[in-house]
Structure 1
Amino acid sequence: MRAPGILYRWYAKRLRRKLDGDRLPRHVAVAMDGNRRWARQQGFADPGVGHRYGAEHLEDLLDWCAAIGIGHVTVYVASNDNLVKRDGGEIAHLMAMIESICVERLVRPGSRWRLHLAGRLDHLPDSTAHALKAAVEATADRDGGHLTVAIGYDGQDEIVDAVRSLLESEASQGTTIGELAARLTAADIGAHRYTPDLPEADLIIRTSGEKRLSSFLLWQSAGAELYFCDVYWPGFRQVDFLRALRDYAKRRAA
């Protein structure tokens, strides 16, 4: 891609200077949508090429967040629905990009991000699940930012899994269904999310112009601000990100 020009860099600096540090989100979640459409728009014969550009672009997002002090990022890489309905060759290509680009760059020296996973990894190819789990272990002692990769993920599944986990935990302690029902709170269910030790999302961004969550962070989106951007994910620029942060700050100030 062409390097940004002088006017672009000036505008990005201007947007960043105007941001109020006290109104920045603590946790930003991004549904990285539009890889294939971006590839077609760019004239690539194989729309799957967009997945490679999309995977590489994750590093840019993490750099933007680190530079501005946002320490929690969640990215929606692939839903259960994607894994079931998309062509097998496309899914294999996407998984290869995750293994060879996302995972390798996260674990290399110099990266301070600690990896967390959200989703049902048993729905992934063995090699992808193994690479992701190994990356979680390799980054577990880092003290930098927290990156959660939602893959094989569905927000409804997460709620079902959380309730199931809660019931199993309470049953092991001898709690009856009636006793649990009498004192059940949202916090009880939230404590059994895929990533219960991480804060819920403050800002959820979806690229590509689609204005729906597609089962992304259904539980965690209850108090989040939503921002929909017309740009496809590989073309999502720093100024687009800064505009989303500006919009978030304005809403929180209202």
Structure 2
Amino acid sequence: MSVPARLAMSLLVALGASGTLPASAFAAAADPLASARWEEMRRGVLGGTAAVFDAQVKVLAPANAENPTQVPVTVDATALADVAEVVVFADFNPIVEVLRFYPESAAALLGFRVKLQQSTPLRAAARGADGVWHVGGSWVNTVGGGCTAPSAAAASTAWQSRLNEVSGRQWQLGAERVRLRLRVVHPMDTGLVAGTPSFHLDDVELRGASGERLMRLRLFEPVAENPVFTIEYRAPGQTLVCTGGDNNGNRFSARIAP
């Protein structure tokens, strides 16, 4: 982006945060991913509120995804101050919204895998301290079909005995920085396969040893089967409590040792 363009974008953010510029002014910025559905996404996913394209929000994903049912993604909005919410969405998916992430006292960073139905811009929008949605993204090319392929669980009944089984591991990355990798057994059915209704995890949250909430997730059908999440938080390693449930009312609770 050129210097004049960066200055213009900074002015848009400043005016929008102060309430002196209507949200429609943010729509004028050209979509760096040149998607025909960007305006639809801004209205439908972001509620039509102020949004600005921002390189500080990073979406790390393969340019070419060989397996459209398990596309690895890392969203990093740690360069922004006081991120309250991050929403991840895919413009050309039949179900566009992937998840919403509320970092609270965890870092605004999340790794996971997603199902993609076709090649698409994959975006993350982070709502920062200025009240504006800061949008980053990358284009992922894929052979497609990720949302209409049956889950691996459909070929076996064994998953039923392990539904919502939680496993996790923590790594100390420094004196006060910890990385957690968390896995939940769940088919994450989209409802787009004939005879198989939507069946997916709804919510996941993590609490520390003293009961304070570190983060929470709202999950939707495009999250990949048997989801694995990578999360970071700043604190000495501690036993975490992970709770959550799915859209059929099945709940789980597990403790993850440091």
TM-score (norm 2): 0.24
Q: Which protein has the bigger helix share?
A: 1
TM-score (norm 1): 0.24
Q: Report 1 or 2 for greater relative contact order, CA contacts < 8 Å, sequence distance ≥ 6.
A: 1
Q: Which protein has the bigger strand share?
A: 2
